[in-house]
């Protein structure tokens, strides 16, 4: 067993990205669950704030290294464990991969984060229905442009036939979309690539429902 510990939560899509990357690289790691809902959210506890004052998961600890931000964590893993790279070295694809990954992780995901939804309820008087519309809207806006880009870049996966950081970001975002009943029929490329990726063990073993802290319907 390695010394790596991932602080995450089964339904956290940012932690899901890191789980996929760790699995693709074949790195063993331990998980510590930070329950984002229970008792107002363990991410707000004093103990977790010591680890990450931003009060967000994931956090990865590897010996004396402690990192938050899933994309920075995956960058660190690429440097430390370069046998399987999430961001290719080649100039032709390297920056394309980073840009597409950020389209998802930077432009889509943060708008629908738990703390944003909680703020909309408590300060914006959003009903559950309005929150769902908000959630669906920002995924649809993001997926419309992503779909057009993937029409040009995809092969078996998002960028050609090799798995990259874009795939690592896409599958958790599709999980969120499905969870909030986004209609994915206008996005055939996103659906096709996601279906191929879900067949890979590194992805299916990282899925929320496969995590030790998952709470599944009985």
From candidates 12, 23, 31, 194, binder to ligand GSH by CB under 6 A: 12
Rule CB under 6 A: say whether 114 interacts with ligand GSH: yes
Among 4, 6, 14, 190, which residue interacts with ligand GSH (rule: CB under 6 A)?
Answer: 14
According to DSSP, residue 127 is labeled -
Sole window of 54-62, 88-96, 181-189, 209-217 interacting with ligand GSH (rule: CB under 6 A): 54-62
Q: Which stretch binds ligand GSH (CB under 6 A): 36-44, 92-100, 134-142, 207-215?
A: 36-44
Among 42, 39, 38, 40, smallest CA distance to 8 is for 42
Task: Tell me whether strands 59-62 and 4-8 are parallel, antiparallel or unpaired.
Answer: antiparallel
Q: Which of 22, 36, 150, 193 binds ligand GSH (CB under 6 A)?
A: 36
**Judged by CB under 6 A, which of 23, 31, 33, 70 binds ligand GSH?**
70
Identify which of residues 96 and 169 has a Cβ nearer to ligand GSH in the complex: 169
Counting contacts by CB under 6 A, is residue 211 touching ligand GSH?
A: no
31 binds ligand GSH (CB under 6 A): no
Q: In the sheet where 4-8 sits, what is the strand order? A: 30-33, 4-8, 59-62, 65-68
Q: Buried b vs exposed e over 125-142: b needs ≥16 C-beta within 10 Å? A: ebeeeebeebbbebbbeb
Residues 78 and 189: their CA atoms lie apart, in Å, by 27
The answer to the question of residue 67 lying near ligand GSH (CB under 6 A) is no
Q: Positive or negative CA dihedral for 209, 210, 212, 216?
A: positive
Beta-bridged to residue 33, according to DSSP, are 8
Asked if residue 41 binds ligand GSH (CB under 6 A), the reply is yes
- Work out whether 160 is an interface residue with ligand GSH (CB under 6 A): no
Pseudo-torsion of CA 208, 206, 79, 70, nearest 10°?
-10
Q: Does 33 bind ligand GSH (CB under 6 A)?
A: no
Rounded Cα gap, residues 97 and 103, in angstroms = 10
105 binds ligand GSH (CB under 6 A): yes
Nearer of residues 70 and 164 to ligand GSH, judged by Cβ: 70
Q: What residues make contact with ligand GSH under the rule CB under 6 A?
A: 12-14, 36, 41, 43, 56-58, 69-71, 105, 113-115
């Amino acid at each position: 067993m390695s010394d790596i510990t991932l602080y995450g939560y089964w339904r956290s899509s940012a932690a899901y990205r890191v789980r996929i990357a760790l699995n693709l690289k074949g790195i063993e790691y331990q998980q510590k669950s930070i329950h984002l809902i229970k008792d107002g959210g363990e991410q707000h506890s004093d103990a977790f704030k010591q680890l990450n004052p931003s009060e967000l998961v994931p956090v990865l600890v590897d010996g004396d290294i402690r990192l938050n931000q899933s994309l920075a964590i995956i960058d660190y893993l690429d440097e430390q464990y370069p046998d399987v790279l999430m961001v290719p070295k080649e100039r032709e694809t390297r920056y394309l991969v980073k840009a597409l990954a950020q389209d998802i992780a930077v432009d889509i995901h943060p708008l629908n984060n738990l703390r944003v939804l909680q703020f909309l309820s408590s300060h914006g008087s959003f009903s559950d229905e309005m929150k769902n519309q908000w959630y669906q809207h920002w995924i649809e806006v993001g997926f419309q442009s992503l779909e057009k880009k993937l029409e040009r870049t995809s092969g078996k996966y998002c960028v050609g036939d090799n798995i990259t950081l874009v795939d690592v970001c896409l599958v958790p975002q599709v999980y969120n979309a499905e969870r909030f009943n986004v209609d994915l029929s206008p996005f055939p490329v996103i659906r096709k690539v996601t279906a191929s990726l879900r067949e890979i063990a590194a992805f299916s073993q990282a899925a929320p429902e496969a995590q030790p802290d998952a709470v599944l319907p009985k």
